[in-house]
Amino acid sequence: MKIIKLETFTKPYVSFVKITVEDGATGFGQMSTYHADITAQIFHKQVAPWVLGKEYFNFDDLEDFIFEREHKFPGSYLLRAIAGLDTALWDLKGKIENKPVVSLIGGSPGKLRIYGSSMKRDIKPFDEAERFKKLHNEKGVNAFKFRVGSECGRGKDEWEGRTEDIVRTINQSFDKNIIKMVDANSCYEPHQAIEIGKLLEDNNVTHFEEPCPYWKPDQTRIVTDALKIDVTGGEQDCDLRIWKDMVKRRIVNIFQPDVMYMGGLTKALKAASIIKEGGFICTPHTANLSLVTICTMHFLKAIENAGPYLEFSIEGEDYYPWQQNLFLNDPYFIDDGKVEIKDIPGWGVEINPDWLNNSDYKVSRIDD
């Protein structure tokens, strides 16, 4: 069946994609978040023209064809747009075959344990610990990640002494049964990261994410080799050549592809295979509660080298006002520290019609 229509529903942070094939079957996907209004323009100009009229079912070849036609534009924005196509194709396939996406890729519906992922750096250590305690007591969450350093901070802390304070405060607030992780978001030079890493080791932190600028992998490798705890990274990387190099040179211990940054599930599965062949764990990055976390749930539940936890943002309307009311029926309900993939075709979620009706609409058709 041929693709005959591609529609986008866009607000500045989020753009959903609807795909329609000849027999009227449809699927919904999402482009990567942030500047989604720009990504939607790229989608209609540099993605849609190459796929309208094409058969839908060979996702890999279809997406390779886009790259060939747009070979002068190999970067992130094109991939963010292709993610919308790819995730819509998977939803379409699931609905046609009456299976959830997780079942299409070798897994099965069910529950996934989460780790609560804090995005805030302006929060005081005591207040962060109290947030974690509340989630532990009320929802059974037993693993948490918090922020150290300053984002791409050139070695600077968010404020003087914050990193040391929050690491010690979180450790003192919980016993060893609570998993503790940190994310430095490319803050440190290697010597600083190693010093911070020793502090983390002394305070029962198990996971040190993106300690050095991610675009300087040799620096990260120095830190990985110097520490006992796991050094993790990869969320920003979207080129499979880079993934092969990172795995071959063992830049980190745990690898974290992002489904949307990668260009969709199809390419993320390729990254997971590269990681598996290297003998490493894949713990995908997912930093908000748009469709990216739903897609990652299906992805994580299917791959053989999955890490033990799904990253799950704990931020609400104060931090992410744009992620409110995207879906009906609360697909992110937490019970005993777990979320659940239902046995529903496709991604198994319903996008809020009110959100779609109040978005910027654009369509590319086969006859345009």
**Nearest to 249, CA basis, from 271, 220, 228:** 220
Whether 179 and 115 have beta carbons less than 8 Å apart is answered as yes
What pLDDT is attached to residue 367? 75
* Helices (H) then strands (E): counts for the chain: 14, 13
Whether 171 and 205 have beta carbons less than 8 Å apart is answered as yes
Beta strands in 73-204 (DSSP E): 110-117, 143-147, 179-183
**Tokens 């993934």 map to which residue?**
243
Residues 52, 55: Cα–Cα separation, whole Å: 9
Domain with CATH 3.30.390.10 in the chain: 3-98+353-365
Beta carbons within 8 Å of 159's beta carbon, 6+ residues apart: none
Residues 70, 206: Cα–Cα separation, whole Å: 41
What pLDDT is attached to residue 58? 92
**Tokens 């990869």 map to which residue?**
234
pTM exceeds cut of 0.85: yes
What pLDDT is attached to residue 368? 59
**Nearest to 32, CA basis, from 106, 83, 92, 69:** 83
Beta carbons within 8 Å of 321's beta carbon, 6+ residues apart: none
Q: What CA–CA distances, in Å, run from 28 to 31, 36, 94, 144?
A: 10, 16, 11, 31
Residues 122, 159: Cα–Cα separation, whole Å: 9
Residues 138, 239: Cα–Cα separation, whole Å: 40
Residues 185, 310: Cα–Cα separation, whole Å: 18
Residues 231, 186: Cα–Cα separation, whole Å: 12
**Tokens 């329609």 map to which residue?**
20
CATH number of 3-98+353-365: 3.30.390.10
Domain with CATH 3.20.20.120 in the chain: 103-341
SS3 call for 221: helix
**Nearest to 275, CA basis, from 252, 259, 302, 298:** 252
Paired tokens of 155: 């070695």
Architecture of domain 103-341 in CATH? Alpha-Beta Barrel (3.20)
Greatest alpha-carbon pair distance for the chain in Å reads: 64
* pLDDT string in tens for the chain (368-residue length): 999 999 999 999 999 999 999 999 999 999 999 999 999 999 999 999 999 999 998 999 999 999 999 999 988 999 999 999 999 999 999 999 999 999 999 999 999 999 999 999 999 999 999 999 999 999 999 999 999 999 999 999 999 999 999 999 999 999 999 999 999 999 999 999 999 999 999 999 999 999 999 999 999 999 999 999 999 999 999 999 999 999 999 999 999 999 999 999 999 999 999 999 999 999 999 999 999 999 999 999 999 999 999 999 999 999 999 999 999 999 999 999 999 999 999 999 999 999 999 999 999 998 75
Give Cα 255 distance to the centre of its chain: 12
Neighbours of 6 (CB within 10 A): 25
Q: What is the rounded radius of gyration, in angstroms, for the C-alpha atoms of the chain? A: 20
Please, what's the b/e burial string for 144-165 (b: 16 or more CB within 10 A of its CB; e: otherwise)? Answer: bbbbbbbeebeeebbeeebbee
Whether 67 and 17 have beta carbons less than 8 Å apart is answered as no
Paired tokens of 50: 């190459």
